[in-house]
Structure 1
Amino acid sequence: MRRILNAVCPGGLADLLGTDPAGAGTLAVDGKSARGSRTVTSPAAHLLAAMTGAGQTVTQLRVPDKTNEITCFAALLEPFDLAGVTATADALHIQRAHARFLVVKANQPGLLRQLRALPWKHATARRYDRETGHGRKETRATRP
């Protein structure tokens, strides 16, 4: 059984056994290296997965070697309708492209046009947080 499961593409297996995130309140995206998957000729399999708040796996895919999770984020979630779902991910995914993908897709041209018309340059920060943790300084600005 183990050999068969190891031969199957991890993303394909998750898609077969996965669940639809529609109606789920939250969706968590995280990546992990599969323990014991490294061989002499290849690095450990790095998997990116999405799970509902109830712990059900939605989908999973293998991150190609010599790249990272950033390049696979949109491909992981693209097949699903995420309307009304709050997605969370670790700090690696704080990317403008990911935010645009999650918040407003191009298939909503009216909403996209309205958001672009807002005076973003004039919004001022109301609160700043400055912290030091994990060996780095972090600054967070909250805008209205």
Structure 2
Amino acid sequence: MAGVSLNKARTIVRKTIAKGRELELKPLSVVVLDAGGHVQAFEREDGASPGRFDIARGKAYGAVMLGMSGTAQMERAEQQAYFMNAVNGVFGGAVVPVPGGVLLRDAKGAVIGAVGVTGDTSANDAIAATAGIEAAGLTGEV
């Protein structure tokens, strides 16, 4: 199975941050994970708080581990909080079930990783992530 190349991961990070600057968002932190949940690339903009890595990773980690976008995870948490609480227990509290966690899919639709963005509102984080993913020629599931 093909994964997220370092070049594509760097493109996602760079273009996500560029979109954040274009939209005048608060400083963003962006992580790209491979299909196994391992960090492929990460950047934290100047002015972003130091805890943002864990939040960005948690958004992406939940997406890739559950095969569900952050938006879908949030909806599930609202409908079945016990399920998301259990999932978070299984994954050591590492899941952040909100928008800004975006599944990455290749041209055939296979999950190849996830992107996590944090720093502004969750909706704006997802918009910036989508711009980065599209710039890398991949498909994101918000």
Q: With the length of structure 2 as denominator, give the TM-score of the two structures.
A: 0.27
Q: With the length of structure 1 as denominator, give the TM-score of the two structures.
A: 0.27
Mark the structure with the bigger radius of gyration.
1
